[in-house]
Amino acid sequence: MKNLKAKIREILKEELTRIKESSMSRGFSTAVETYQSVQLKQQKLQKAFIVEKDPSKREKIKQALLKIHKLVKKAEEDFNKALMQEPVDLDEKLVFYFDKKKDKIMRFDTDRSKNKKLRK
């Protein structure tokens, strides 16, 4: 009976660690949320700046854009720091990258049996 309970506990621990590794960490998710919210504020200000015709109001919006740009840079730095701390799954077979010449996202399969480029 004790042996069975120990095996069940070990299985549960393994499953919980696997679930924890596969999900985003709390720090990363908050960094993503703050980065998105700051970018959304900046986007709204940019739209207001483009629409506005009055030079005095336009200048106020311009100053607000300059202030929020600093916040965007800070949020971007925090996002990149959180991204670097996220665990990497090395078992993934597909790698996606942006090809500038073709101007689209390309897929690269690291599995040698399925990748025509690596079979040569």
- In terms of domains, do 75 and 97 share one? no
Judge whether residue 41 has pLDDT over 90. yes
Question: Do 82 and 100 belong together in one domain?
Answer: no
Q: Please tell me the predicted confidence (pLDDT) of residue 51.
A: 94
Q: Are both 82 and 95 inside the same structural domain?
A: no
pTM of the model: 0.55
What pLDDT, on the 0 to 100 scale, is given for residue 99? 77
- The answer, yes or no, to whether residue 37 has pLDDT greater than 80, is yes
Query: Long-range pairs for 23-31 at CB < 8 Å and ≥24 separation?
Result: 24/86, 25/82, 25/85, 25/86, 27/82, 27/85, 28/82, 28/83, 28/85, 28/86, 30/82, 31/75, 31/78, 31/79, 31/81, 31/82, 31/83
66 and 112 both lie in a single domain: no
44: DSSP letter? H
CA atoms of 45 and 65, how far apart (whole Å): 7
3-29 pLDDT, tens digit each: 887 888 888 778 777 766 666 677 888
* One domain for residues 109 and 69: no
* 10/93: higher pLDDT: 10
Quote the number of domains for the chain.
2
The token pair that represents 96 in the structure block: 């996606």
Domain region containing 112: 90-120
Residue 88's pLDDT band (cuts 50, 70, 90):
low
Q: Are residues 74 and 45 in the same domain?
A: yes
Regarding whether 71 and 56 lie in a shared domain, the answer is yes
DSSP string, 56-71: HHHHHHHHHHHHHHHH
- Is the pLDDT at 92 greater than 90? The verdict is no
